[in-house]
Amino acid sequence: MPMIDADGCLLNVSVEGRDGGPTLMLSNSLGSTMQMWEPQMKALTQVFRVIRYDRRGHGKSSVPPGPYSLERFGRDVLAILDDLNIAKAHWCGLSMGGMVGQWLGANAPDRFGKIILANTSCYYPDPTRWHDRIKAVKEGGIAAVADTVLAGWLTADFREREPQIAANMKTMMLTTPVEGYIACCEALSTLDQRELLPRIKSPTLIIAGRHDMSTTVADGEFMRSRIPGASMTLLDAAHISNVEQPHAFTDAVIGFLTQR
């Protein structure tokens, strides 16, 4: 797996799948790594050359001091594409990955074909939840918030039905570097990309989870109404919908990206 330098930060990047196929870039959520895309990889790599990466502060990427910003996350992605000599890619980002996708769609329109924004939002009207989470993590580490966050990631039904998958997701969250996690929460606490949405000209699909209390169906509907021509798909899932509804999520991605 290459490590790619983005302004001094080494990003852990993986390139797999169909050589010569269209490129699809996947971007993870807060507190996860590129491993969160495992349920999609078998199907996606048959159609696409798939690039995954660990956001700065996460996984095997470096953890420069924060706070980070959506612009910095976006420029990290452009550094990866430049390093790999890729002129244009499709984008699928979930949660923070969707926020980065909004920034890229508005600020680097020539570099992206179609864009999928899953379980995400463009704006948090009240930053209190992020300030509270930062305080809790500073005091008690990610363990202090892990069960509450996991309950938002996956419905109770799913956690009961698939305890091993839920446990793996929790481990992924708990192994995130604390400094990187906090630096990302700081970026989220000031998130407001409402003005960017009308500037996204790529064909865009919004995916929302019916049971997602973190980035709600209303958040998805707001983005759909502001991004020209965007469409929306609802899944029977909480926040990490690609894990909770892997087949429906994969079908939505492939269906949207391959339709003419």
Residue type, 108: A
Question: Looking at 55-189, which runs of residues are DSSP E strands?
Answer: 89-94, 112-118
8 A C-beta contact, residue 108 and residue 89: no
Does 137 sit near ligand LWBT4IAB (CB under 6 A)?
no
Handedness of CA 193, 194, 196, 202 (dihedral sign): positive
Q: Which of 113, 152, 177, 246 binds ligand LWBT4IAB (CB under 6 A)?
A: 152
The neighbour count for residue 219, using CB atoms within 10 Å, is: 20
Verify binding: residue 30, ligand LWBT4IAB, rule CB under 6 A: yes
Task: Determine, following the binding rule CB under 6 A, whether residue 33 of this chain makes contact with ligand LWBT4IAB.
Answer: no
- What is the phi/psi pair of residue 53, to 5°? -150, 160
Contact predicate 7/218, CB 8 Å? no
Does 172 interact with ligand LWBT4IAB (rule: CB under 6 A)? no
- Using CB under 6 A as the binding rule, whether residue 29 contacts ligand LWBT4IAB is answered as yes
Residue 88 CB, shortest distance to ligand LWBT4IAB, in Å, is: 25
Cβ 219 vs Cβ 193: under 8 Å: no
Question: Counting contacts by CB under 6 A, is residue 242 touching ligand LWBT4IAB?
Answer: no
- DSSP E strand boundaries for the chain: 3-6, 9-17, 23-27, 49-53, 89-94, 112-118, 204-209, 231-235
Does the protein bind ligand LWBT4IAB through residue 31 (CB under 6 A)? yes
27 binds ligand LWBT4IAB (CB under 6 A): no
Smallest distance from the beta carbon of 113 to ligand LWBT4IAB, in angstroms? 23
Pick 20 or 125: Cβ nearer ligand LWBT4IAB: 125
* Residue type at position 113: G
Q: How many residues bind ligand LWBT4IAB (CB under 6 A)?
A: 10
Report the 10 Å Cβ neighbour count for 200: 26
CB of 149 to ligand LWBT4IAB, least distance (A): 5
Select from 40, 95, 176, 241 the one that contacts ligand LWBT4IAB (CB under 6 A).
95
Under the binding rule (CB under 6 A), the answer on residue 102 touching ligand LWBT4IAB is: no
Residues in the site for ligand LWBT4IAB, rule: CB under 6 A? 29-31, 95-96, 149, 152, 188, 214, 239
